[in-house]
Structure 1
Amino acid sequence: MKIALAQTTTGIDPAANAHALVAAIQEAGRAGAAMLFTPEMSGLLDRDRARAATSIRTEADDAVLAAVAEAARSAGIWVHLGSLALRRDDGMLANRGFVIDARGAVRARYDKMHLFDVDLPSGERWRESASYAAGERAVAVDTPLGRMGMTICYDLRFPDLFRALSDAGARVLSVPAAFTRPTGAAHWHVLLRARAIEAGAFVVAAAQTGVHEDGRETYGHSLVVDPWGEVLLDMGAEAGVGFVELDLGLVDRVQARVPALRHRRAIGAVDVAS
């Protein structure tokens, strides 16, 4: 089955970002892809909180989500909209991903559970929790590719989430992201391959890339990794739409060859010897 990934350099204007997403959906639909995957923060990427606040809407009023849903319906293609910044009723923000079907209906929502609060050796300082509320539930959804587990960016570093999704029957794990260049160069490929191998599942990771209008730099290298850990697609640093064919039967063959999922055991307290 053919899928598509949109690798973007999202900016500070939601209307321009929506236009680019619609164009990617149309391109993917014309190419016969069953599903398009987009990165984290596909509708707005702006670290100036005051400026960003003027563009962030509730889910019901978000023009990017509405445009993507209509484009998915028109093109007859499923879309994993990696995430949008949305305003919650309590005034906090949500970093929320969506799966939209070929009729333009939202099939699933997932709020990012692990928030990126770090000080990097490069001097970059990120405090996602200053504005965003963490999600509280893992989410999987049935798609044309089979059951898909939804994660977002920093979630990649927490294998317990991926274990819960694979235990729920996920055969595809989606990791939309906006990795910084330093962390991407160090960890992106190895972590995505590890998550695929551990779960015996496909990993699809659409990423932001390049130098953005707000001054940040992201790593790119949108990846698709198969259940054996082989990289099927690496989009490098250029923005654009990439395509790859998935052999969905490979999940069963790999899980039969290495039946680690059946051998998992619950781990209780740890005995510490001195």
Structure 2
Amino acid sequence: MRIAAVQLVSGMDVAENLARAERWIAEAAAQGAQFIGLPEYFCLMGQQDDDKLAIAEDFAAQPDALAQPLQHRLQAAARRHGVWLHGGTLPLKAAGGKVSNSSLVYAPDGALAARYDKVHLFAFDNGRERYDEGRVQAAGDTPSAFDLAGWRVALSVCYDLRFPELYRQLGPSLICAPAAFTHTTGQAHWQLLLRARAVENLSYLMAPAQGGMHANGRRTWGHTTIVDPWGEVLAELPEGEGLALATLDPERLRQVRSQLPALQHRRF
């Protein structure tokens, strides 16, 4: 199966961000991708976290073009190109006036295939940079995976990569981890975490990322990456907009899991 991870440098104009995402979805489809992933918050990198509240939508399995424009555009793109589309993340309305950081996956006919609300909320303070997603976001509480043409696809978002127990219970053959890693933490830990999650689960991993200097002054690490079950990097895009493409090989997955049957040796 041919997959494509889209890297963006999203800004503060939602309409422009949507148009850029759609352009890269079309390009990925033209290059033969059957499953395409967008990065975390592809639709908005605002001046402050509260900006997410203004564009948050009610969840709808059958979104309306006026009431749920973000969801509707994702669904329409999947249907138009006949691809599986992982819509990175977008803000959906949650309890207490907050939003969930939600991943939605659409099948080639536009049907909703899966939803995942980010469970682990990022917090960081090194004296120069400070982030606290919990101030605006509500944490999800349910792991999520779905089946795609024989592949067990586990959903996660960004900071989730630091919590390996999330993936173990899902038994993935492909992990999706859209992200907007800060430049500071990405430089230190991004590839280490990606390769570790792939190796310990003997699974492919696709990580579409935000990558560059944003209009709000924030710099994200980028390095959109696809990793194979042995931890080999199959594709990587350091910075700027573009695509990372690779082909998932079921025989490679079977070979690695046969040679190193670590998943069969689990005791806990």
TM-score by length of 2: 0.93
1:147 corresponds to which of 152, 155, 178: 152
Percentage of matched positions with identical amino acids: 40
> Offset at 1:50?
4.4
Cα distance in 2 for partners of 1:265, 1:172 equals 22
> Offset at 1:91?
2.2
Gaps of 5+ in 1: 267-274
Q: Match of 1:28, SS?
A: helix
Aligned to 1:31: 31
Aligned to 2:170: 165
2:228 corresponds to which of 226, 229, 234: 226
Aligned to 1:206: 208
Cα distance in 1 for partners of 2:200, 2:80 equals 37
Cα distance in 2 for partners of 1:186, 1:58 equals 36
Q: Match of 1:54, SS?
A: helix
Q: Match of 2:119, SS?
A: coil
Residues 113/47 of structure 1: CA separation in 2 closer, same or farther (3 Å cut): farther
Q: How many residues align?
A: 262
Aligned to 1:132: 137
Aligned to 2:21: 21
The answer to whether structure 1 residue 256 and structure 2 residue 251 are counterparts is no
Conserved in 1, the CA contact under 8 Å of 2:53 and 2:91? no
Please show how residues 1-274 of structure 1 align to structure 2 within 5 Å: 1-60=1-60, 61-88=67-94, 90-120=96-126, 123-144=128-149, 146-166=151-171, 170-266=172-268
> Offset at 1:210?
0.5
Query: Which is worse superposed, 32-41 or 234-243?
Result: 234-243
Cα distance in 1 for partners of 2:144, 2:136 equals 22
Cα distance in 2 for partners of 1:226, 1:36 equals 17
Conserved in 2, the CA contact under 8 Å of 1:21 and 1:68? no
Residues 85/177 of structure 1: CA separation in 2 closer, same or farther (3 Å cut): same
Q: Match of 1:165, SS?
A: coil
> Offset at 1:92?
1.7
Q: Which amino acid aligns with 2:13?
A: D
Gaps of 5+ in 2: 61-66
Per-residue CA deviations over 1:16-48 (Å, capped at 9, x if unaligned) read 111112112211222221111111111111142
Cα distance in 2 for partners of 1:114, 1:120 equals 19
Cα distance in 2 for partners of 1:162, 1:228 equals 16
Q: Which amino acid aligns with 1:106?
A: L
* Greater radius of gyration (CA): 1
RMSD across aligned C-alpha pairs, in angstroms? 1.4
Cα distance in 2 for partners of 1:6, 1:145 equals 23
Residues 215/62 of structure 1: CA separation in 2 closer, same or farther (3 Å cut): farther
Q: Match of 2:235, SS?
A: strand
> Offset at 1:89?
5.1
Runs of 4+ in 1 over 4 A off after TM superposition: none
Q: Match of 2:87, SS?
A: strand
Conserved in 2, the CA contact under 8 Å of 1:15 and 1:64? no
